[in-house]
Every structure is written in C-alpha cells, then in structure tokens.
Structure 1
Amino acid sequence: MSRIPRSALILGLAGVLPFGWGVLTLLSPGLHDWATGFLGPRFVGPYVQLFYGAVILSFMSGVLWGFATKAEGSRATTGYVLSVIPALWAFFTTGGGETAAALNLTFGFLALLLLDGAFWRWGLAPPWWMRLRILLTALVVACLLLTALL
C-alpha cells in the first residue's frame, strides 16, 4: 500500500469531525446546551452523528459506484450492485431509536470497509485506499459505539 495523499487524509479526517462532535456534546452537558441553542438540536449528540452517518454511507455508495465504472462485464455489474448497499442500509436501518441507529450505522461502516477491500483488491480503488479507509472507519466506529453505549 502506498502513502495516502495529504489532501485525501486531511479531508477524510475532517469528515470524521461531526462524529467526534456528537460524542463531545454527549459527554459535556454545557457544550450540548450551548450547541443546541446556537446550532439547533439536530447538530448535537447522537442526532448529528446519525444524520451525518446516513449521508456519509450514501456518499460512499457513490464512491464505490465510481470505482465500478472502471470495471467491465460481470465485475462491473457486481460492483454496481454492491455499491448501492451502503445507501440502502442507511435508509432502512437508521430508524428505531438512537441506540439501534448508532449500532446499525456501526455495522454499516464495518460492512463498507469490507466492500472497500473488495474494490481495492479488484484494482478499482487507489493503492492507498485501504490505509485511509481503515483509519477513518476505526474513528467513525469508535464514535458511534460510544454513542450507542452512553
């Protein structure tokens, strides 16, 4: 695996910030109250994580779709079919309360990592892809599990 491009790493880590922010506002009642008043209730605690998590799983479906365009024949068909799974997972599993949604998103991000690995092994993702995806997935999953357990 090669080195992650700096811009991809910085933007990827920036994309984890809403997950971390959600945990911080769960752990700090003062920060939660301030953020609720300043930003609104959708941007604190589990709500920011759950909404953003569904958005990111959908975004990653698009990324995988883009990778599938590099394939041909049955591999392309398989890639297209697999690429829609993260978005569908987010759509169908984020109801049912904060804890269930956080756990379902956790499973979604872990499954996405498996899909990332498949596209990478097929040579459709950049050489550095798995280094980035393992790091980002670990951070996101840690934040979602904290939310589910708090």
Structure 2
Amino acid sequence: MTGIPRVPLILGLAGLVPFLWGAATYLNGDLAAWGASRFGPRFVGPYVQLFYGSVILSFMSGVLWGFAAMARGTRAAFGYGLLVIPALWAFFMTGGGPITAGTNLIFGFAGLLLLDFAFAHWGLAPSWWTRLRVLLTTVVILCLLVGVLL
C-alpha cells in the first residue's frame, strides 16, 4: 500500500493474524482440532475471533482518542464522546452466541471505520490513515463473516 509507513503497515497486517487464523479454523476442521490441541480451544474459530475482535475494537477506540486530543473545543468534546462508543459496543454487544457477537463486531468495525474517516476529514489523522484502516477493516470484516455465515 503506497504511502503507508512500513512499520504501521507491518504491525497492522500482523494484527490480522488472529482474525485470519480464526477464519481458517472455521473452514478447516483438522486445523481447528490441531489448533485446539496445541493452543487450547479458546484459540480457534469463534473464540479467538470474538475475544480478539473485542480487544481490538476497544484498542482502536483508544488509538483514535489520541487524534481527538489534537482537536480543540467542541470538536474535541464531540470526538471524545464518539470514541467511547466502540469500546462500549464491544463490551455490551458481544454476548448472545457467536453469530450475534460476530455480527455485532462487524457493525462495530464498520462504525469504527466511519470514525476513522471523520478524524481524517477533520485533519486529525495522518494522510495515510484511511488507506491503512480500509485495508485492515476489510480483512477483519471478511474474516468475521466466515463465522457469521457458516
């Protein structure tokens, strides 16, 4: 991805591993059995995706907090108010079984992407931020869809 600094790109792509692994273990029963025996059942399929997804949604809420800190006045207050939503969404909306939780995480990450666009539009995010976030969010949502649709 042109224009994205190497370190954020590499770390962002590395952060996709649990989502990709979770999708792979949804799709391949032998891989899921191997992963469960090696790492424990919490680290395959829906368990790894939903737990890690909740953590990352909350983490990204905190990342954007840094952008809100660069704003002033009403925009800063509005930004801070918006940024509690993804973490609260992850906390309250990931119960009720893997399909419901996965669906709610998809909506949470889509909403987070809207916040990414807003902060970029306000000039508070780096110029490369939305390109990175679109790439990462697309992969996350596709991985979560594996669990929701299968």
TM over 0.5: yes
> Once the 2 structures are TM-superposed, how far is the Cα of residue 146 of structure 1 from its aligned partner?
1.1
> Once the 2 structures are TM-superposed, how far is the Cα of residue 46 of structure 1 from its aligned partner?
0.8
Q: Hey, what does 1:109 align to over in structure 2?
A: 109
Q: Secondary structure at the match of 2:127?
A: coil
Deviations for 1:74-133, whole angstroms, at most 9, x for unmatched residues? 111011011111100000100000000000000000000000000111111101000000
Q: Secondary structure at the match of 1:71?
A: coil
User: 1: distance between equivalents of 2:30 and 2:53?
Assistant: 24
Q: Hey, what does 1:78 align to over in structure 2?
A: 78
Q: Scaled by the length of structure 1, what TM-score is found?
A: 0.97
> Once the 2 structures are TM-superposed, how far is the Cα of residue 34 of structure 1 from its aligned partner?
1.1
Q: Hey, what does 1:16 align to over in structure 2?
A: 16
Q: Hey, what does 2:50 align to over in structure 1?
A: 50
Range with greater deviation from structure 2 (135-144 or 26-35): 26-35
The percentage of counterpart residues that share the same residue type is 66
User: Which letter maps to 2:19?
Assistant: F
> Once the 2 structures are TM-superposed, how far is the Cα of residue 26 of structure 1 from its aligned partner?
1.1
User: 2: distance between equivalents of 1:60 and 1:82?
Assistant: 12
Q: Which runs of 4+ in 1 moved over 4 A?
A: none
Q: Hey, what does 2:144 align to over in structure 1?
A: 144
User: Which letter maps to 2:24?
Assistant: L
User: 2: distance between equivalents of 1:115 and 1:72?
Assistant: 17
Check if 1:99 corresponds to 2:99.
yes
> Once the 2 structures are TM-superposed, how far is the Cα of residue 64 of structure 1 from its aligned partner?
1.1
User: 2: distance between equivalents of 1:144 and 1:23?
Assistant: 7
Unaligned runs of 5+ in 2: none
The number of residues matched between the two structures is 149
Check if 1:87 corresponds to 2:81.
no
- Report if the CA contact (8 A) 2:26-2:146 is conserved: no
Q: Scaled by the length of structure 2, what TM-score is found?
A: 0.97
Unaligned runs of 5+ in 1: none
